[in-house]
Chain A
C-alpha cells in the first residue's frame, strides 16, 4: 500500500510565486488534513476536510487554499508565497466515524518548502 503520498518532496520558490502541494491517499479515508511543522512549534493544522466537497480552516489557514474534489486527493495551494511560509508540510488522513479525532492519522513523508 502506498498510504499517503506527497509531491514534491522539496521545492524552492521565490516570494510571490504560487504553487500547489499534492497529497493523495489510497486508503479510502474520509478525513484529510494539512499541517506545517516549524522548529519548536510542533505541527499546526492549516486546513482539513471531512469528505469530498467539504473543507474547513485549521489553526493557521491564512495564505493557503484547499479543495477536495475526490476522496483520494487533497491539494494545498499557496497563492502568493511569503518567506514566513518556509516550512515542512505534512498531509495526513484518517478514517472517520463520527468524532474523527479518535482515529490515528496516517502521514505522508512531507514536502520541504523554502521561500526566498
Chain B
C-alpha cells in the first residue's frame, strides 16, 4: 500500500537560513508527488508538483523539490527562509490511475527572527 512519511514533526530555523523538509514515500510505480502549505486557519495551497521528467521542480514562493527515485524521497527546499514561511507543510502522493491521494502527517515550520 502506498504511504507517505514526513519524519520531522517540527522544524525551527532562523530567518535567512536554508530549509529542507523531508518526505519519503512508498509506492510501487512512479507516483505523482505534491507539496502543500497550510497557514493557520487556512486550507492547503499547492507549492509544487512532480509527475515525470526533470527531477528538480520549482514551485511558488521560492520553493523547490527534488525527486530521488533511489531514495524514495521528495524533499522540499528553500535557500533562504522568510518569516512568512512559518506554516505547516504537507507532502502528498497520488497513485496513478486512481482517485486517491495520501497525505503525510505534516511538518510544522517555525521561523525565528
Could you list which residues of chain A lie within 8 angstroms of chain B, going by C-beta atoms? 4, 31, 35, 40-45, 48, 50, 56, 58, 90, 92, 98-105, 107-110
Tell me which residues across on chain B come within 8 A of A101, comparing CB atoms: 32, 94-101
Tell me which residues across on chain B come within 8 A of A50, comparing CB atoms: 99
Least distance between A30 CB and chain B CB atoms (Å): 10
| A42-B90, A109-B42 known; A99 vs B34 contact (CB < 8 Å) | no
Least distance between B77 CB and chain A CB atoms (Å): 19
Q: Could you list 11 A-B pairs, sorted by A, with CB under 8 Å?
A: A35-B103, A43-B44, A43-B90, A48-B100, A92-B43, A99-B94, A101-B94, A101-B96, A104-B34, A107-B45, A108-B43
Interface residue total, chain B, C-beta cutoff 8 A: 26
Could you list which residues of chain B lie within 8 angstroms of chain A, going by C-beta atoms? 4, 9, 32, 34, 36, 41-46, 49, 51, 90, 94-101, 103-106
Q: A101-B94, A101-B96, A109-B42 are in contact. List 8 more A-B contacts (CB 8 A).
A: A42-B103, A43-B90, A90-B44, A100-B99, A102-B94, A105-B46, A108-B43, A110-B42
* Central interface residue in A31, A40, A42, by most chain B CB within 10 Å: A42
Q: Which residue of B lies closest to A100 (CB)?
A: B99
* Central interface residue in A42, A90, A101, by most chain B CB within 10 Å: A101
The answer to whether A48 and B9 have CB atoms under 8 Å apart is no
| A43-B90, A101-B32, A102-B96 known; A90 vs B101 contact (CB < 8 Å) | no
The answer to whether B100 and A58 have CB atoms under 8 Å apart is yes
| A102-B32, A109-B42, A109-B43 known; A43 vs B96 contact (CB < 8 Å) | no
Least distance between B7 CB and chain A CB atoms (Å): 13
Tell me which residues across on chain B come within 8 A of A108, comparing CB atoms: 43
The answer to whether B101 and A110 have CB atoms under 8 Å apart is no
The answer to whether A104 and B46 have CB atoms under 8 Å apart is yes
Pick the 4 closest A-B CB pairs, nearest first: A101-B94, A107-B43, A42-B105, A43-B103
Tell me which residues across on chain A come within 8 A of B9, comparing CB atoms: 40
| A31-B99, A101-B94, A101-B100 known; A41 vs B105 contact (CB < 8 Å) | yes
Q: Which residue of A lies closest to B97 (CB)?
A: A99
A58 to B99, CA, bound (A): 10
